[in-house]
Amino acid sequence: MATRTVLGTCHHDCPDTCGWVVTVDDNRAVKLRGNHDHPYSRGELCPKVNKFLDRVYHADRLLDPMIRIGLKGAGKFRRATWDEALTMIARRLQDIIATHGGEAILPWWDAGTQGLIQMSSLDRRFFARLGASRLTGSLCGATANAGLAATYGSGKSADPMDIRFSKFIVLWGTNTRLTNRHLWPFIEEARSAGAEVVVIDPIRTMTAGSADWFIQPLPGTDVAFMLAVMHVLIRDGLVDGDYVDRYAQGYDDLAARVGEWPPERAAAVCGIAKDEIERFARDYGTRRPTFIRTLIGAEHRERGAMFYRTLACLPVLTGAWKERGGGLSRSVGVWSEDQANDSVFDVPSDTRQISMNHLGRVLTDPAMGIHALFVWNGNPLVSVPNAAQTRAGLAREDLFTVISEQFMTDTARFADVLLPATTELEHLDVIPSWGHLYLGWNQPAIPAQGDAIPNTELWRRLARAMGMRDPEFDFDDEALIRLALVDVDVALLQKQGWVRLDLPEDLRPYANGGYATASGKAELRADGLAAIGQDPLPSYVPAREGPGGDSDVVSKYPLVLLTPKNHTRFLNSSYSRHHGHLEKGPFIEIDPADAAPRGIKDGDVVSIRNDRAELRLPAQLSTRLRPGVVAVPWGWWGEEANVNALTNDTLTDWGGGVAYFDTMVEVSRR
């Protein structure tokens, strides 16, 4: 038997973008292991992807095109050939365009694979040629990026691996050990050299449990905490005056603003002790180097961008950016954009834009006139807030829905035409990372299973069926990749499975200023924010759906509901059907102080509700939270388990994200 090994890269929407090695026997993958030579993941994968071959060869894989035969959403289909499916799609689209115009077609996609060409490439040309509506906004990342950009001019931040040089590490609204596990060894390396690790999170997560110091503010109150920290830095002379003079603007205005925020004021808002704020500010202002690590958790809020915009001011004030191991790191995806440039796939279009976060709203609003929906790389019924409305939209008998998937997800059940997609083992791609500075090559290891095809091939076939003649539709996958890669040693990338982006080993982006703002300085006062109706200075405003917000809502629904990632074997919604039996859940975690007056005991099935929906789940009494805050793990499938039925779809202050975590509920036994 011919045994060989093939180098690949994990495609999941996860910061770690691990390198892997597949062992193939006679066209069958028999082993998948981490690539030991990968400088960041260093040979380890994770509990989800260690079992990836089970996913690839799962009996439930979609292997044929299918056409709906039952009621919408019933999940009943018959097999079809590709020709039949493509002909049907082309006819329906032509009819819809003739009757309602191209904007009646809505494409919806996310980062089911975050590969350079399989996430989004030829689809842009295909939908632009149809004159379809354009999808805008983001479930993940854009708000945080826009917040940082308000202060720095771009979302560029520190190399996460430089955390190993830090002496004071702040994991702020990120659950590193769960969501970014390969960073943890670099944190441990810093720790063995004397670093202290602080976690700031409203939940005592597994990461908080491993930290030296855990600070637990009430959800959504961090900006008040940051204002008080800056108050102390300025009051106690801990500002790096030289750095601020040279490289920042608006210091005096910021100083006046934070002057209004003594620690006792913030302590009352955040529900933490004044002394804890004082101590944190002193440590942050005196230790060297200080490294703030944050990802996405705090962006899912009405004031999400303001969180990141304000956080970005801290390392400017202390001059932490000057040292290696200092500064702030979030997604580093922006660094790869120059060398893995997917904007080469953009095609100009001026059709209307529709927020991906409002899928349910637009499908259920007749005035929007959406008649066809395409979904790939995502499971919006489970991932978009206000899921009851998404379900109502998908259930429209008159909506023509085409979905490309690997499995029969909750969303896929609503397809009219369901098309089988290849997995990462079956298609070619290059994977940029948002958690480190290496590009990964992904060589297909096995032939496509059944009649599954890569996303790129789907757009090629559809373009042909619709009579589109652009030469780009004749490019094969490697040609598409080469179109987007700039100054990348492709031969080396193929040979070793990864290459580092062409960036200095010692990145320190803002050691000597270099901010991308119009003024060239870090904008402690960001005048551009006034133009979009935002406060140019950091400011704390409670969410409307939250404590301190709309009193009518709070009196009816007094508990804050958090729904972050919670299971080591889940990756968003992708494994809940396959690994769900290995995770205990879903459940609602509730503090004994909230459970007792409601007569709730551990294990009771309780009702969790607000104006959007009601769920019934077992209660788990837990002291990981604070009184007034409950949590349900997100990612489970099924109407009875999908917590996004309850979540808030208000858009973020700027950046186009959505406020999942500003959600209030009441919980009762009944």
Ligand X SMILES: Nc1nc2c(c(=O)[nH]1)N[C@H]1C(S)=C(S)[C@@H](COP(=O)(O)OP(=O)(O)OC[C@H]3O[C@@H](n4cnc5c(=O)[nH]c(N)nc54)[C@H](O)[C@@H]3O)O[C@H]1N2
Q: Which of residues 565-604 bind ligand X (CB under 6 A)?
A: 565, 568, 570-574
* CA dist., res. 278 & res. 231, Å (int): 10
Least distance in angstroms from the C-beta of 367 to ligand X = 26
The one among 45, 116, 373, 458 contacting ligand SF4 by CB under 6 A? 45
SS3 584: coil
Q: Is 26 exposed, middle or buried (0-12, 13-18, 19+ CB in 10 A)?
A: exposed
Which partner in ligand SF4, Mo ion, ligand X, none is near 389 (CB below 5 to 8 A by kind)? none
Amino acid identity at 220: G
Query: Which listed residue (295, 328, 332, 615) binds ligand X by CB under 6 A?
Result: 295
String of contacts with ligand X for each residue 622-651, x by CB under 6 A: ------------xx-------xx--x----
Interface with Mo ion, residue 373, by CB under 5 A = no
d(CA 326, CA 633): 33
**Residues between 116 and 145 that touch Mo ion (CB under 5 A):** 140
**What's the CA gap between 359 and 448, in Å, rounded?**
31
Q: In 3D, which of 538, 541, 520 has the Cα closest to residue 529?
A: 538
Residue 177 C-beta: closest distance to Mo ion, Å? 17
| Interface with ligand X, residue 57, by CB under 6 A | no
Q: Counting contacts by CB under 5 A, is residue 96 touching Mo ion?
A: no
Is beta strand 614-621 parallel, antiparallel or unpaired with respect to 605-609? Answer: antiparallel
CA distance 186 to 201: 21
Which of 145, 310, 377, 539: binder of ligand X (CB under 6 A)?
Answer: 377
**DSSP, residue by residue, 116-128:** TTTTSSHHHHHHH
- DSSP, collapsed to helix, strand or coil, labels residue 470 as coil
Encoded tokens for 153 = 């001019």
SS3 string, 20-55, reads: EEEEEECCEEEEEEECCCCCCCCCCCCCCHHHHHHH
Residue 145, contacted partner among ligand SF4, ligand X, Mo ion, none, CB below 5-8 A by kind: none
Q: How far apart are CA 628 and CA 590, in angstroms?
A: 9
Strand partners, 375: 108, 403
Alpha helices in 436-489 (DSSP H): 455-465, 477-484
Site for ligand SF4 in 16-35 (CB under 6 A): 16-18
645's tokens: 């039925």
Considering only residues 555 to 594 of the shown chain, the ones binding ligand SF4 according to CB under 6 A are 571
3-state secondary structure of 307: helix
Contacts of 5 (CB under 8 A, 6+ apart): 21, 22, 23, 24
How many residues in the shown chain lie near Mo ion by CB under 5 A?
Answer: 1
Can residue 368 be called a binding residue for ligand SF4 (CB under 6 A)?
no
- Using rule CB under 6 A, residue 446 touches ligand X: no
- Interface mask (CB under 6 A) for ligand SF4, residues 150-189, using x and -? -------------------------------x--------
Asked if 655 contacts 146 with a C-beta cutoff of 8 angstroms, the reply is yes
Residue 660 near ligand X by CB under 6 A: yes
With CB under 5 to 8 Å by kind, the binding choice for 17 among ligand SF4, ligand X, Mo ion, none is ligand SF4
- Counting residues that bind ligand SF4 (by CB under 6 A) gives 13
For ligand SF4, which residue of 6, 7, 12, 263 counts as binding (CB under 6 A)? 12
User: Is residue 617 a contact residue for ligand X (CB under 6 A)?
Assistant: no
Contact residues: Mo ion, CB under 5 A = 140
Contact residues: ligand X, CB under 6 A = 13-14, 110-113, 118, 139-140, 172-175, 178-180, 200-203, 205, 219-220, 222, 295-298, 376-380, 382-383, 404-407, 409, 421, 455, 562-565, 568, 570-574, 634-635, 643-644, 647, 660-661
Contact residues: ligand SF4, CB under 6 A = 10, 12, 14, 16-18, 41, 45-46, 48-49, 181, 571
